[in-house]
Structure 1
Amino acid sequence: MGETIPIAVPRKGRPLECVLDRIAARLDVPALADDITSTLRHEKARTKGTVDADEDVYHRLATYSTVDDPTEPEYTLLRDDRAGKPRRIVFDSVTIPLEDADGISDGTSIQLVGREEPFRALRTHEFALGFDSADLVLEEVVELRPEPLDRIADINVRIDPVDTDVRVVTGLGDTVYHTLMATPETAPPSESIDREFLEGYEGPICIEPRYERLVQAVLGTKTLDGVDFRYPANGREEEAAIAETGLGVYLTVTGSTAREHGLLLGEQLFPSETVMLENTPEVTESVAAVRSVLANGTAETELAVTH
């Protein structure tokens, strides 16, 4: 029996679905990935009340997780942050043999393990490999410098080795952007709404509080001279708060909601993307082989990790 390599993954949402898509493509397990994704989407709909639940959440959890085979997915309960704080079924774990993976033939398996914040689990050396949002890396460990950071490929050079041993291996391509946006009154009449505009701007800029360090890293401290951060009031829609402030940065998919609030979309400042991570000192020969199977040969950004 070969080694089982644990890999930390998100418990739910778009990042987990992106990871499952990558696993399905690299390891040829589309049915498993579809099963997990469809189960979680159905449970999300039940939590939101858009689908009726025939049984209570505990009976459904027992049905999902009463398995004897570790290659079948298991689930757990998480307190949801929606109104009423309902319990929501989320992903817990599954073991996947790598029998047909290129370059691996010794019975090695991987175990996907759900974590609320996989990046932090890697920081504490619980895992050698994991997947999480690039945003969390920027929010926690990248150095703030006068010059901006605008590519995932540049994250590793901004990480102080004293702060963490975790490095970004590759992006998975599920990209949406932190975007600069402004009202017509604030936007320059004959210029673009971009970093160059911000260099000469003095005044308020509205952001989500948890993105303050990320925005500082992405824009660069030099660009933010004279800028005063403002935050949406509790429960206030972000785009509405930006429209009231006149200028802001927010994560956009289509930008339609921003336009509904009369905002003009400016420069796409930084991609919010799921990334593969490694804790460098924990990478053994077996872990490196698994990392190669899951990361190499992609069309997305491949990063050179310093060992």
Structure 2
Amino acid sequence: MGETIPIAVPRKGRPLESVLDRIARRLDVADLADEITSTLRHEKALTKGTIEPDERSVYHRLADYSSVDRPTAPEYTLLRDDRAGKPRRIVFDSVTIPLEGATAVDGIEDVPDDAAIQLVGREEPFRALRTHEFALGFDSADLVLEEVVELRPEPLERIADVNARIDPVDTDVRVVTGLGDTVYHTLMATPEVAPGTEPLDRRFLEAYEGPLCIEPRYERLVRAVLGTRTLEGVDFRYPEEGREEEAAIADTGLGVYLTVTGSTARDHGLLLGEQLFPSETVLLENASERSPTVDAVRALFDGADLETELALEH
């Protein structure tokens, strides 16, 4: 096998599944993608206790999953989960996928016949790119906002504007495209705090003074998305450890949290307002690590068929 391009990916969850789905559609490896996804979903259910415990120990399951009989079989590893008791959880480690025939994919050119990609699990793929361990990787757009975008008085409304707020002195990493697995950071409030007949949106927040409940890890993201001017007079509050986010927002009266359908928020008596910012898995590249093969691999994940919130020129 010739050159292998390593790509940093999350070890579990929706972002990893989105990457696997994209690869399955572009390289015709649906069985491999399904194998990894179903394994990790099963292990998540075991860790959460939503299915009956497996008779095998976690170490025996790990050995069974990581077969040495297939050179391109996926491998897994163990991490401590943050749930009660800190159980060990099986998560994705790596898999190598040959790119033979990849040039038959629309938009792909100059991929060496003997090249391959290796998906490598990382707890923080974005940071792995920042330290030049990888040329390409996938992570949530949220992580980029939380770490490197400049905070300005004016709001950040689109993922497509993220690159313009990254200081080139700070990092060589840039957003290339998104995978379309979009959920939203949504403004929500109780009927008592909501502005009655007026929209529950950024304009309401500009005049609002008082508490705003958010997850601590999203504080910098919220400051970037709303703009520092909008947040004048706003006091951030955080959910108590172990408390459901929507319940904490209901107690506070106003907050921002990720929503898909919004059903859980409505169950807590909350009204849904403006979708402030999309959360989406994004393809990242470290420009200083580019090569002809890296560029060809990057094109493998990009494409006009993507339904993404991004509209980047690259």
Q: TM-score scaled by structure 2? A: 0.94
Question: Could you say what secondary structure the match of 1:293 adopts?
Answer: helix
Q: Which runs of 5+ in 1 are unaligned?
A: none
Could you tell me which residue of structure 2 aligns to residue 26 of structure 1? 26
Give the partner amino acid of 1:34. D
Structure 1 residue 60 and structure 2 residue 79: aligned? no
Could you tell me which residue of structure 1 aligns to residue 199 of structure 2? 192
Question: Could you say what secondary structure the match of 2:102 adopts?
Answer: coil
Render the CA deviation track for 1:68-94: whole Å, top value 9, x for unaligned.
433111111111111111101111111
Equivalent positions of 1:1-307 (< 5 A) are: 1-49=1-49, 50-102=51-103, 103=109, 104-299=111-306, 300=308, 301-305=310-314
2: CA distance, partners of 1:71 / 1:99: 13
2: CA distance, partners of 1:111 / 1:236: 38
Q: Does the CA-based 8 Å contact 1:12-1:91 persist in structure 2?
A: yes
Render the CA deviation track for 1:160-190: whole Å, top value 9, x for unaligned.
1111111001010001100000111111112
Q: Does the CA-based 8 Å contact 1:67-1:74 persist in structure 2?
A: no
Render the CA deviation track for 1:27-47: whole Å, top value 9, x for unaligned.
111111011111111111222
1: CA distance, partners of 2:311 / 2:59: 42
Question: Could you say what secondary structure the match of 1:186 adopts?
Answer: coil
* 1:147 Cα deviation from its structure 2 partner: 1.0
Question: Could you say what secondary structure the match of 1:18 adopts?
Answer: helix
* 1:133 Cα deviation from its structure 2 partner: 0.5
2: CA distance, partners of 1:43 / 1:67: 20
Give the partner amino acid of 1:98. L
Render the CA deviation track for 1:213-253: whole Å, top value 9, x for unaligned.
00000001111111111111222221111111111101111
Q: Does the CA-based 8 Å contact 2:112-2:293 persist in structure 1?
A: no
2: CA distance, partners of 1:298 / 1:222: 37
Q: TM-score scaled by structure 1? A: 0.97
Give the partner amino acid of 2:2. G
Question: Could you say what secondary structure the match of 1:40 adopts?
Answer: helix
Question: Could you say what secondary structure the match of 1:275 adopts?
Answer: strand
Q: Does the CA-based 8 Å contact 2:67-2:73 persist in structure 1?
A: no
Give the partner amino acid of 1:304. E
2: CA distance, partners of 1:252 / 1:116: 23
Question: Could you say what secondary structure the match of 1:119 adopts?
Answer: helix
Question: Could you say what secondary structure the match of 1:254 adopts?
Answer: coil
1: CA distance, partners of 2:123 / 2:168: 24
What count of residue pairs does the alignment treat as equivalent? 305
Q: Does the CA-based 8 Å contact 1:169-1:302 persist in structure 2?
A: no
Render the CA deviation track for 1:190-232: whole Å, top value 9, x for unaligned.
2100001111111111111111000000001111111111111
Q: Which runs of 5+ in 2 are unaligned?
A: 104-108
1: CA distance, partners of 2:71 / 2:176: 27
* 1:296 Cα deviation from its structure 2 partner: 2.3
Task: Using the aligned pairs only, state the percent identity.
Answer: 79
Q: Does the CA-based 8 Å contact 1:123-1:165 persist in structure 2?
A: yes
Could you tell me which residue of structure 1 aligns to residue 106 of structure 2? none
1: CA distance, partners of 2:71 / 2:136: 20
Give the superposed CA RMSD. Answer: 1.2
* 1:302 Cα deviation from its structure 2 partner: 4.6
2: CA distance, partners of 1:302 / 1:116: 27
Question: Could you say what secondary structure the match of 1:53 adopts?
Answer: coil
Q: Does the CA-based 8 Å contact 1:70-1:94 persist in structure 2?
A: no
Question: Could you say what secondary structure the match of 1:266 adopts?
Answer: strand
